[in-house]
């Protein structure tokens, strides 16, 4: 599959079921690492966030009318997590996922690029995201793009440290075009 046919656009309301499917499929690799109960809770939180989110927008990645990835963009930590105490009032990328059958094609980078370009359109030159240590390949991608650790925005989710990364979009040539 070629990324030349890749289309990144805002999701349509009738695509929610496909978004859930691609995100659960994308995150399912963690079922082998987490306990059965942790995975079920995580999967349910993905589904719930898709059905009842306070996103500014949802982006989807499609090739030949097949959804291969998605990500959500929120206005703030309050909207993303219900955590106003984090004091993040810049866009937050959350639930960035790519179907396992489409990995390695640059789709996640293109979803991040589109998120950054939208953020710039909205008047923000910074974007934030959160992740955890089990998402090693995602962390490598974020750091390669230029995201820097932002420990002041980190929090605990049960026993898991939710790490924060931020990106000054205007200083990141790989993302703006």
Q: What is the domain partition of the chain in residue ranges?
A: 3-171
Per-residue confidence in pLDDT tens, the chain, 177 aa: 444 689 999 999 999 999 999 999 999 999 999 999 999 999 999 999 999 889 999 999 999 999 999 999 999 999 999 899 999 999 999 999 999 999 999 999 999 999 999 999 999 999 999 999 999 999 999 999 999 999 999 999 888 899 999 999 988 766 555
| Phi, psi for 97 (deg, rounded to 5) | -145, 145
Backbone angles phi, psi at 13, to 5 degrees: -55, -30
> What kind of architecture, by CATH, is found in domain 3-171?
3-Layer(aba) Sandwich (3.40)
CB 87 within 8 A of CB 78: no
- Burial letters for 99-132: b for 16+ Cβ neighbours within 10 Å, e otherwise? beebeebebbbbbbbbbbebbbeeebebbbbbbe
The SS3 call for residue 43 is helix
* Number of neighbours of residue 64 by Cβ within 10 angstroms: 10
């Amino acid at each position: 599959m070629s990324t030349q046919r890749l289309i990144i656009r805002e999701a349509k309301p009738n695509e929610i079921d496909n978004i859930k499917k691609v995100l659960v499929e994308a995150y399912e690799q963690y079922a082998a690492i987490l306990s059965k109960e942790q995975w079920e809770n995580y999967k349910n939180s993905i589904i719930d966030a898709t059905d009842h989110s306070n996103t500014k927008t949802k982006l989807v990645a499609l090739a030949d009318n097949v959804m291969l990835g998605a990500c959500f963009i929120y206005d703030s930590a309050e909207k993303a997590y219900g955590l106003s105490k984090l004091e993040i009032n810049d866009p937050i990328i959350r639930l960035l996922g790519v179907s396992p059958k489409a990995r390695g094609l640059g789709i996640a980078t293109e979803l991040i690029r589109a998120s950054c370009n939208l953020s710039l359109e909205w008047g923000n030159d910074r974007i934030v995201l959160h992740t955890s240590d089990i998402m090693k390949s995602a962390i490598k991608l974020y750091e390669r793009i230029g995201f820097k650790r932002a420990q002041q925005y980190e929090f605990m989710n049960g026993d898991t440290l939710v790490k924060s990364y931020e990106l000054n979009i205007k200083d990141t040539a790989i993302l703006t075009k």
